[in-house]
């Protein structure tokens, strides 16, 4: 039995899980408010644009999105196994690839702002 | 007397129905579906933001559909449940020993909840909710 | 002392005559303060001497009497009749093959216990003439909780990952590795990592936490495994991302370690 390379996927999962725990509830609350027609001033184009244009803003947004995507992908991979889907390599490939693709996409969009 | 052990199979697709604690575990794990889907929504939002004010306004408007409202509520429940289970778990992963004693686990988790509340409040204030 | 008639539904399996298990119902008059083990003992004494089950201390320290009681892994000496209503279903501990009736075959567990090298691999070997290894109370507290395991295997019965993937080394064995890793006298962490940091080691665990919930000795194996995930991840970073990095905190050479049998 060789030592596993699981830390490669687990460490970002742990970091992402922490990010989701601290940041996601309030972010979802903001979009929920927008969904209910009460979008706060911070979500209007001007303010969002200024935030996403700044270096710090880009870093925060990318960090939150990329780590959350990865963490969700990893957890979903384990959940597939728990649900009886034994094709773990397939699930891992599809889900991690989706997370990486989503992260690259957000980087590209952020670069355009 | 011969040995002929009987093997009882663990049903791979329905084992979690056997105990309430397994159902709670699966509920925690399933939050990843909603959080993951929500992240996809965020990526789409980033694209709209990059496309300019009209696209962004359209994004905010699209959020107001009934399906979106239902999804946002589910995503919020999922995010909160993830956060609560995550903070409760941190005390297990990071025991803090002081001399012969340990910092009470609830204090460690409590500190996380407190930080979460403060951070969320700051974000809400910066977003102009208050 | 009040009496209470209890109905037990007990799994029976005779390897000499059966190909499948079946349930047998027993009605037994008990004292209300009894535990399930007392009821089983009464069945064996007065009703059915062919019933087989393990037990010893009757006080939740030996770890012999683990069973599934109404689907929950429990020590039968620790399951009070007053907490149950109606028919009580008694089955052998889950996730282990059934030898006979309520007796399981714990071979897999025993093998895994040995695999994690559950003994002190001294950081500095010193001859007896130099005296004992000294340890402060604080150093003891670092691992004491994890040394309380009574090897009852309730955690293995509770762990769904062990049920789904039997090659998983499992909560108790891995926690025992952690117990020795945390011991100030020990220098064998790197050696144990060869077992702990594998796919069958901590990485099979998804922190369901059932193990800690059912543990009668309050060992909290889930916490031990999560701590080892973190140290294993830090090890990986040191070993793979830092040039010349070696994660071993021990100073024991393989030769020295091999001296200890």
CA B52 to centroid of chain Cα atoms: 31
Write out residues 52-71 of B within 8 Å (CB-CB) of A. Answer: 53, 56-57, 60, 63-64, 68-69
| Chain C nearest CA to B66, separation (Å) | 35
Among the ranges given (A74-78, B76-80, C130-134), the one the predictor scored with the smallest mean pLDDT = C130-134
Q: Is the pTM of this model over 0.90?
A: yes
User: Which residues of chain C form CATH 3.10.20.30?
Assistant: 3-104
* DSSP sequence for A35-85: HTT---GGGSHHHHHHHHHSHHHHHHHHHHHHHHHHHHHHHHHHHHHHTT-
- Give the residue extent of every domain in chain A: 7-112
Q: Do B29 and C97 touch (CB under 8 A)?
A: no
What is the percent of chain A with per-residue pLDDT over 70, rounded to a whole number? Answer: 99
Average pLDDT over residues B50-75: 96
**Residue C93 carries which DSSP code?**
P
Tokens 């994890």 locate to C146
Instruction: Write the pLDDT tens digit of every residue in C43-62.
Output: 999 999 999 999 999 999 99
pLDDT of residue C247: 58
Q: Do B69 and A21 touch (CB under 8 A)?
A: no
**For B17-126, CATH number?**
1.20.1300.10
Which residues of B are less than 8 Å from C227 in CB distance? 92-95
Residue of B nearest to C231 (CA): B93
pLDDT of residue B2: 63
Query: Is the separation of the CB atoms in A59 and A5 below 8 Å?
Result: no
Query: Is the separation of the CB atoms in A24 and B79 below 8 Å?
Result: yes
Beta bridge partners, B115, equal none
pLDDT of residue C252: 46
pLDDT of residue C251: 41
Overall residue count recorded for chain C in this entry: 261
Please state, in angstroms and rounded to a whole number, the distance separating the CA atoms of residues C63 and A17: 36
ipTM over 0.90: yes
Residue of A nearest to C203 (CA): A6
CATH classification of C107-259, choosing from 3.30.1360.120, 1.10.1060.10, 3.50.50.60, 3.40.50.1820? Answer: 1.10.1060.10
Q: Do C203 and A78 touch (CB under 8 A)?
A: no
At residue B91, does pLDDT exceed 90? Answer: yes
Does A7-112 carry CATH code 2.115.10.20? no
Please state, in angstroms and rounded to a whole number, the distance separating the CA atoms of residues C221 and C177: 11
User: What pLDDT band is residue A95 in, cutting at 50, 70 and 90?
Assistant: very high
Query: Which positions of chain C have pLDDT values less than 50?
Result: 249-261
Total beta-carbon pairs less than 8 A apart between chain B and chain C: 81
Average pLDDT over residues B18-30: 96
Average pLDDT over residues A78-104: 96
Which residues of B are less than 8 Å from C213 in CB distance? 21
- With both helix axes pointing from N to C terminus, report the angle between C137-144 and C171-181 in degrees, rounded to the nearest 10: 160
**Residue C58 carries which DSSP code?**
S
Q: Does B32 touch chain A (CB under 8 A)?
A: yes
* Between residues A86 and C95, the one the model is more confident about: C95
User: Among partner residues C195, C206, C237, which is closest to A1 by beta-carbon distance?
Assistant: C195
User: What pLDDT band is residue B3 in, cutting at 50, 70 and 90?
Assistant: confident
At residue B64, does pLDDT exceed 90? Answer: yes
Which residues of C are less than 8 Å from B97 in CB distance? 138, 141-142
| Torsion angle, alpha carbons of C234, C238, C241, C246, to 10 | -150
| Chain A nearest CA to B20, separation (Å) | 15
User: Among partner residues A23, A45, A69, which is closest to B56 by beta-carbon distance?
Assistant: A45
- Give the residue extent of every domain in chain B: 17-126
**For C3-104, CATH number?**
3.10.20.30
Neighbours of chain A (3+ CB pairs under 8 A): B, C
User: Among partner residues B19, B89, B95, which is closest to C207 by beta-carbon distance?
Assistant: B89
User: Which residues of chain C form CATH 1.10.1060.10?
Assistant: 107-259
């Amino acid at each position: 039995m060789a030592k596993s390379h699981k830390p490669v996927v687990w460490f970002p999962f742990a970091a992402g899980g922490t990010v989701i725990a601290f940041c996601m509830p309030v972010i979802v609350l903001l979009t929920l408010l927008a969904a209910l027609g009460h979008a706060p001033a911070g979500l209007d184009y001007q303010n969002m644009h200024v935030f996403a244009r700044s270096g710090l803003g880009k870093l925060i947004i990318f960090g939150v999105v990329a780590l959350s995507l990865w963490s969700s992908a990893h957890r979903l991979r384990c959940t597939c196994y728990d649900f009886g889907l034994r094709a773990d390599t397939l699930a891992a490939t599809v889900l991690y690839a989706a997370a990486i693709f989503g992260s690259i996409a957000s980087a590209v969009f952020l670069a355009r702002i | 007397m011969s040995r002929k052990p009987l093997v009882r199979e663990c049903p791979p697709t329905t084992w979690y129905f056997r105990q309430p604690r397994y159902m709670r575990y699966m509920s925690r794990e399933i939050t990843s579906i909603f959080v993951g889907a929500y992240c996809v929504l965020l990526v789409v939002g980033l694209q709209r933001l990059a496309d300019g004010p009209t696209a962004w306004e359209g994004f905010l408007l699209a959020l107001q559909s009934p399906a979106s409202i239902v999804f946002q509520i589910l995503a919020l429940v999922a995010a909160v449940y993830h956060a609560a289970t995550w903070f409760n778990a941190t005390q297990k992963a990071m025991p803090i020993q002081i001399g012969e004693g340990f910092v009470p686990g609830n204090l460690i988790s409590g500190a996380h909840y407190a930080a979460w509340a403060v951070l969320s409040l700051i974000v809400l204030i910066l977003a102009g909710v208050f | 002392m009040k009496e209470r008639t209890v109905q037990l539904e007990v799994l029976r399996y005779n390897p000499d005559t059966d190909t499948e298990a079946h349930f047998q119902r027993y009605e037994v008059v008990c004292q209300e303060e009894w535990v399930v083990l007392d009821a089983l003992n009464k069945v064996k004494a007065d009703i059915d001497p062919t019933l087989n089950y393990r037990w010893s201390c009757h006080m939740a320290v030996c770890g012999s009497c683990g069973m599934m009681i109404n689907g929950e892994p429990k020590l039968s000496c620790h399951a009070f009749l007053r907490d149950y209503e109606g028919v009580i279903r008694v089955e052998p501990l889950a996730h282990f093959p059934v030898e006979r009736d309520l007796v399981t075959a714990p071979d897999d567990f025993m093998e895994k216990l040995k695999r994690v090298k559950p003994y002190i691999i001294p950081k500095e070997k010193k001859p007896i003439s130099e005296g004992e290894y000294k340890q402060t109370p604080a150093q003891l507290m670092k691992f004491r909780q994890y040394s309380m395991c009574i090897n009852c295997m309730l955690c293995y019965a509770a762990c769904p990952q062990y049920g789904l993937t039997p090659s998983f080394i499992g909560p108790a064995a891995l926690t025992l590795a952690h117990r020795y890793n945390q011991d100030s006298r020990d220098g064998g962490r790197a050696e144990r990592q060869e077992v702990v940091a594998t796919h069958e080691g901590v990485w099979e665990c998804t922190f369901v936490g059932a193990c800690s919930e059912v543990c009668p000795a309050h060992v909290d194996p889930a916490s031990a495994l999560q701590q080892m995930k973190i140290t294993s991840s830090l090890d990986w970073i040191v070993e793979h991302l830092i040039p010349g990095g070696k994660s071993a905190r021990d100073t024991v050479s393989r030769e020295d370690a091999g001296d200890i049998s």
